[in-house]
Structure 1
């Protein structure tokens, strides 16, 4: 019987297309469309147009009526880097590396969920068209794009009225426009969990500038965010760096002193040798807690160059991919309101795409944690409502 239905739909499809050519459009029933979806809707890992994890692709910036709970958005921008360029090609590389992620095979055993088959509608919103010629314009383009995307109407009540954006970089400077948009959307500053080999809180005035300079770089954006009041870094609301191992300026601890003055907590990469992944997890959670909104920012150079060579400012002595994924899984209780994965520069990676593969896995882990947190919040609210009654 199934075989007959299959043939009949093929015949209908053929006749429908034929009628369409003659101006008579066929009206398809839901059953017929479901049958076509069952036959032709699946994509293998090696086919498709290259959206993240084969998600539905919509140019959200030109389709403001589109609704979603979580959006993947690319920011192909790299003209604020201090060393090797090329991260503008990062979003494309990360999407390509995510091709083995499909909704059919995406159950996450540690989180006990399939993030692509759950409450959240997750789509790929494409890329922000960012100019490579003027950083001031580029900054404004990214800021407006994030604000527009962050105001979209979510589908599920578990989104609490606001969708979440996960940005594929691009260089790390994009975090500043993202934080500007979050401040406007949430009406208050947020805290940051920053995985990186570098501080990125450098005062740009500390660099030689006799010829003039810009404050906006991929090493100063958190300093700028602090200056603009975008971070809730108070005595009770610190932000966190983890994975640090960079050289510092000058001949003393001035960089760390400036970072401390901006109220950041630091975890060096080699602390993992003494306290293990669980110690890093416990330290992060003790500072950030589970209630305050947190922006999660991941520079792929938090990994050792052996595992992520395709990046602009590689630093030896970083974490393994396995260690970092374990840490990400341990912080799933954070209240993540936005995230980025940045500094993937595919021109410097090997044929195995190891850097982009790691970045795609990081996005998957973040998605899993956001979706799981939404389920837990929903269950908690139902319990509280019952208790009140």
Structure 2
């Protein structure tokens, strides 16, 4: 069995949680208060990750897919477990759809999007055969590179004379209602709620004693990084452009221009996105494959890599006919009808059920 270190887990989680926000932004509908929405979402994300960690500790050695059958029985638990597997595949398809939206509109306008998607899924399949341990090593290599280049980008932005701190005021120009609407349910489900997938990976971590620290630190670092990106976008392109643009952080990097020599660096941001998208899509498909493996009681994951990857590829090429439709579904439909029930409602209900079960067990044995 392949094992990863705590730093490798930390690296994978940070890259996963940054994900597509490095291009699409986070909580843009909140306007100038987007960074406040990010911080609130991060705080709630820390709490929900504590809940996931508690459930993992209460079921040692078991993954998310096995929690529900263990406590609710096969007639209720197995259908719920399959819902999570299907959700992992669906989110993988949405990740591929992001590529379909981004690549033709940025660095490869004449390249058919399905060619990019097929090539990307082939790289993912190769990574899946390589295994989690290899990708964990790759994650701990790429994370410092991403962070160092991000710091360099921030420095270049400040030297480009495009920063206007007055764009941040007033901080809550659209009111608390907009902040709340950007936090619930999208802010707390996209990125932070999705980390429930790592409950499929936590049993593979070598040092279980540092699991809580690694997980919460990764969530905190990711949240602060995303909040910083939102602040930069607001003070450079303005709150209006930030909230209305489909690719606000892509527009941000295009503003870099120093002496008409250092400019046109937007391709770097796309490469950043491709890197984080690779790790996020790998996690989606890896967890789906592991879930199928657990539910079908098969020890050979290689048999399911190609079928699951083909399903994700089909979803990624057919789930939306246009970019606006893809974004609208991801903002107005999926968070309410899929993510919030699976990431919050069911885990909280399972948590309550376990507490009641323990209380009853304690009462029976104490009498």
The bucket for the TM-score relative to the shorter chain is under 0.3
- Larger proportion of helix: 2
- Larger proportion of strand: 1
Instruction: Tell me the TM-score normalized by structure 1.
Output: 0.23
Higher relative contact order (CA 8 A, sep 6+): 2
Instruction: Tell me the TM-score normalized by structure 2.
Output: 0.24
